[in-house]
């Protein structure tokens, strides 16, 4: 029931599904080894086939067209894209972030383990190029304990934006641009395309792979290498 729930209702991909299965199998194997249980039902849950990511990196032209439109129409969505492209902070992590996690003076963002995908507390660097925009939209004036992407995709003291709000807002923008024939195709383009594009941009710029690993908050170099190879 749990695996059906995360696959159907949460719409997770094959890789995440298999990671869940492996994690739960490991826990129950440990309990079996300690004599708490006699059977591990997770061993009967089959892996599902993993396919290549169904998303594209953005060309320079498409990226500029989309960014220009987002900047004009939705500054908070623009912030989300910057956090994904430069800091590799996933949408689900973003919607759980509070203002105080952004330290403009030190140029860093702290991601606590309770909101991080890998459950580890880590810090990423804010590139100097985007600091002016953060001041422009008033990040330094927002209440410290507000959710950054709260109700209506604005800072809010208690309510986060919807679990798919950032992705849906991005989808509306690219759909509009496609209908206006300013983008030739939007197949494979999602908000996560900015993360992939940002990763390849660092590689193309000659950034040391260990720096990329730290900025992406990967636990080891092999994870970074595997991710970049998949692109």
pLDDT at 52: 57
What pLDDT digit, counting tens, does each position of 7-36 carry?
877 767 788 889 899 999 999 999 999 999
What's the average model confidence in pLDDT over 73-89? 97
User: How many C-beta atoms surround the C-beta of residue 216 within 10 A?
Assistant: 19
What is the pLDDT confidence band of residue 184, given thresholds at 50, 70 and 90?
A: very high
Q: Are 112 and 124 spatial neighbours (Cβ–Cβ below 8 Å)? A: no
What's the average model confidence in pLDDT over 126-155? 96
Whole-prediction pTM: 0.80
Q: Give the whole-angstrom CA distance, residue 34 versus residue 174.
A: 53
What's the average model confidence in pLDDT over 164-179? 95
What's the average model confidence in pLDDT over 78-92? 97
pLDDT at 229: 85
pLDDT at 191: 94
What is the percent of the chain with per-residue pLDDT over 90, rounded to a whole number? 78
Identify the CA nearest to 107 among candidates 130, 81, 78, 85.
Answer: 130
Burial call 72-104: b when 16+ CB within 10 Å, e when fewer: eebbbbbbbbbbbbbbbbbbebbbbbbbebbee
What is the pLDDT confidence band of residue 214, given thresholds at 50, 70 and 90?
A: very high
What is the pLDDT confidence band of residue 200, given thresholds at 50, 70 and 90?
A: very high
């Amino acid at each position: 029931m749990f695996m059906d729930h995360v696959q159907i209702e949460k719409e997770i991909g094959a890789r995440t599904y298999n990671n869940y299965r492996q994690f739960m199998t490991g826990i129950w194997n440990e309990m079996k080894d300690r004599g708490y249980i006699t059977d591990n039902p997770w061993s009967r849950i089959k892996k599902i086939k993993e396919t290549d990511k169904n998303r594209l990196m953005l060309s320079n032209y498409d990226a500029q067209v989309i960014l220009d439109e987002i900047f004009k129409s939705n500054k908070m969505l623009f912030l989300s894209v910057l956090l994904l492209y430069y800091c590799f902070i996933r949408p689900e992590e973003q919607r759980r972030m509070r203002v105080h996690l952004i330290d403009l003076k030190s140029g860093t963002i702290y991601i606590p383990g309770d909101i991080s995908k890998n459950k580890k507390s880590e810090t990423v660097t804010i590139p100097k190029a985007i600091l002016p925009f953060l001041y422009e939209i008033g990040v330094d004036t927002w209440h410290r304990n507000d959710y950054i992407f709260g109700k209506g995709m604005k800072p809010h003291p208690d309510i986060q934006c919807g679990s798919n709000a950032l992705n849906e807002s991005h989808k509306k923008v690219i759909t509009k641009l496609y209908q206006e024939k300013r983008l030739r195709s939007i197949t494979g383009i999602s908000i996560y395309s900015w993360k992939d594009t940002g990763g390849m941009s660092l590689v193309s710029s000659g950034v040391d792979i260990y720096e990329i690993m730290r900025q992406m908050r990967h636990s080891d170099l092999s994870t970074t290498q595997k991710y970049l190879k998949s692109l």
